[in-house]
Amino acid sequence: MNRREFMHRASAAALAAGLSSAASYGEPVGASGKAAALKPMDVGLLISPFGAPEEKIGRVRELGFDNCFLSLDGYLNHFTSDLARQIGDLLDKFELVATTVEVVGPPPLVWDFLQGPSTIGLIPPSTRAARIDALRQASDFARLLGIGQVQTHCGFIPENPADPLYPGAVEAIRTVAQHCQGNGQYFLMETGQETPTTMSRMIRDVNMPNLAVGLDTANLILYGKANPVDAVDIIGPHVRSIHAKDGRWPTDPDKLGQEVLIGTGLVHFYEVFTKLHKLGYTGAVTIERETSGPQQIEDVKQEKIYLERVLHDVLG
């Protein structure tokens, strides 16, 4: 029985058991034994396989990683069983574990402070239904692959719980979390547009055992919301994935801060990882480098070395 077939059976077994406890969520990720073999805080790579899946998935292995995070917006409305077989076969071919899937679309999406609040995530009412549908599609597709985590940017969650947009945001996030629950998955809110306190409040108000956090270390800085070291004190117990990324504070009030090569920005990775390790975090540490082409590959190589050195010191 190959990895994918085993995962399918394990996922079905978890669902049949009724997911009686929060510990059941995400179990298909490690069902084959391969995911369980990943080292604690193993370094992985975020990829978007759309357009050239074999080349992009193969590159993960060429760069020395054994796990990846799948950004799947290019496949929206085309999440077929044939595509799941193709992606699953490629993961098997290159002996890779896919830890999480993510979609943030459909458009419009404007990543700034002016139009971002009205275009990003599940908060804007005009695109909410389409985004919920996209996340349901991604969740169902991840289930075919045995992937136990679905992640997205929920958007500029209102800091004021009395904001008229807040009740609808709670219900939208709960709706997606419930769908993921039915597929045996965690639903992860990626940090960025909201303060850690606001995210913590949303977790409490949605009140779903499978709602958790995808910690993007740089986004907290790029959006001017928090120092990631301090953020872990608030949302650390809920973190189930990490995007390792570095950046600098925004200096133009219209634009996000600058994402930079890991080790050259303001994220103190040793302190972040140390706190998460003490909290019991054992998931992947996924590099996300927002450049492209040959420069991205060279940057990822450097970042992998940097992070593995830091994690060696943290983990001992």
* 157-212 residue pLDDT tens: 999 999 999 999 999 999 999 999 999 999 999 999 999 999 999 999 999 999 99
pLDDT confidence of 26, banded at 50, 70, 90? low
Q: What is the C-alpha to C-alpha distance for residues 130 and 133, in angstroms, rounded to an integer?
A: 5
Question: How many other C-beta atoms can be found within 10 angstroms of the C-beta atom of residue 164?
Answer: 9
Above 90 in pLDDT, residue 9? no
Above 60 in pLDDT, residue 66? yes
pLDDT at 110: 98
Q: Which domains does the chain have, with CATH numbers?
A: 3-12+29-315 (3.20.20.150)
Q: What is the C-alpha to C-alpha distance for residues 183 and 28, in angstroms, rounded to an integer?
A: 10
Token representation of residue 77: 């409305």
pLDDT confidence of 13, banded at 50, 70, 90? very low
Quickly tell me which residue has 């992070």 as its tokens. Answer: 307
pLDDT at 49: 98
pLDDT at 111: 98
Token representation of residue 62: 């060429």
Alpha helices in 183-316 (DSSP H): 196-206, 219-222, 228-235, 269-278, 293-315
Q: What is the C-alpha to C-alpha distance for residues 71 and 264, in angstroms, rounded to an integer?
A: 25
pLDDT at 180: 98
Sign of the dihedral through C-alpha 24, 27, 28, 29: positive
What value does the mean pLDDT of the chain take? 91
CB 30 within 8 A of CB 189: no
Above 60 in pLDDT, residue 259? yes
Above 70 in pLDDT, residue 88? yes
CB 287 within 8 A of CB 262: yes
**DSSP secondary structure of 32-67:** TSTGGGSPTT-EEEEE--TT-HHHHHHHHHHTT-SE
Q: What is the C-alpha to C-alpha distance for residues 129 and 285, in angstroms, rounded to an integer?
A: 31
Q: What integer is the mean pLDDT of 90-108? A: 98
pLDDT confidence of 135, banded at 50, 70, 90? very high
pLDDT confidence of 10, banded at 50, 70, 90? very low
pLDDT at 133: 98
Above 80 in pLDDT, residue 44? yes
Q: What integer is the mean pLDDT of 43-72? A: 98
pLDDT tens, 286-296?
999 999 899 99
Q: What integer is the mean pLDDT of 222-228? A: 98
Sign of the dihedral through C-alpha 12, 14, 17, 19: negative
**DSSP secondary structure of 110-162:** --SSSSHHHHSTT-SHHHHHHHHHHHHHHHHHHHHHT--EEEE------SSTT
Bigger pLDDT: 241 vs 36: 241
pLDDT at 25: 55
Q: What is the C-alpha to C-alpha distance for residues 27 and 131, in angstroms, rounded to an integer?
A: 25
CB 299 within 8 A of CB 57: no
| Bridge partners, residue 98, by sequence | 68
| Bridge partners, residue 214, by sequence | 190, 241
CB 176 within 8 A of CB 202: no
pLDDT confidence of 30, banded at 50, 70, 90? very low
pLDDT confidence of 280, banded at 50, 70, 90? very high
Above 60 in pLDDT, residue 35? no
CB 71 within 8 A of CB 47: yes
pLDDT at 2: 52
pLDDT at 31: 34
Q: What is the C-alpha to C-alpha distance for residues 258 and 222, in angstroms, rounded to an integer?
A: 6
